Amino acid sequence: MLARIDLRGQPAAALTRQRLAGVLPRAWLDTEAALAQVRPICDDVRRRGAAAVREYTARFDGVDLPTTVVPAPALADALAMLAPAVRAALVEAIRRARLVHEAQRPTGT
């Protein structure tokens, strides 16, 4: 059952973390337990690379991919199928990400 929480009409200033904590349900997550599960997988991928990725893809997704390289025609087809507004949004997101990361690069020295 989904619960509906209507926040319409609430001023943004009133939607504080404390106020929302009592209204919005949050899942409990034991991050240490999650890290204990994920860390060995990351270490294995770091150590064995693509072979490990292939094994985990088969294990978790049930798919045995001979390669993780996406063929150029498949990329072209996917790009052609994008709605113009979605493509424009992706191009803008890429532009912004590049600006941010270029600004973070060290200069000189």
Q: How many CB atoms lie within 10 A of CB 3?
A: 6
Greater pLDDT, 108 or 74: 74
- pTM value > 0.85: no
pLDDT in tens, 39-83: 999 999 999 999 999 999 999 999 998 888 899 999 999 999 999
pLDDT score of 1: 61
Is the Cβ–Cβ distance between 54 and 46 less than 8 Å? Answer: no
pLDDT score of 107: 83
One-character DSSP codes across 16-59: -HHHHHTTS------HHHHHHHHHHHHHHHHHHTHHHHHHHIII
In sequence order, which residues have a C-beta less than 8 Å from that of residue 56 and are 6 or more positions away? Answer: 41, 44, 45
Assigned token pair, 91: 């191009």
pLDDT score of 2: 66
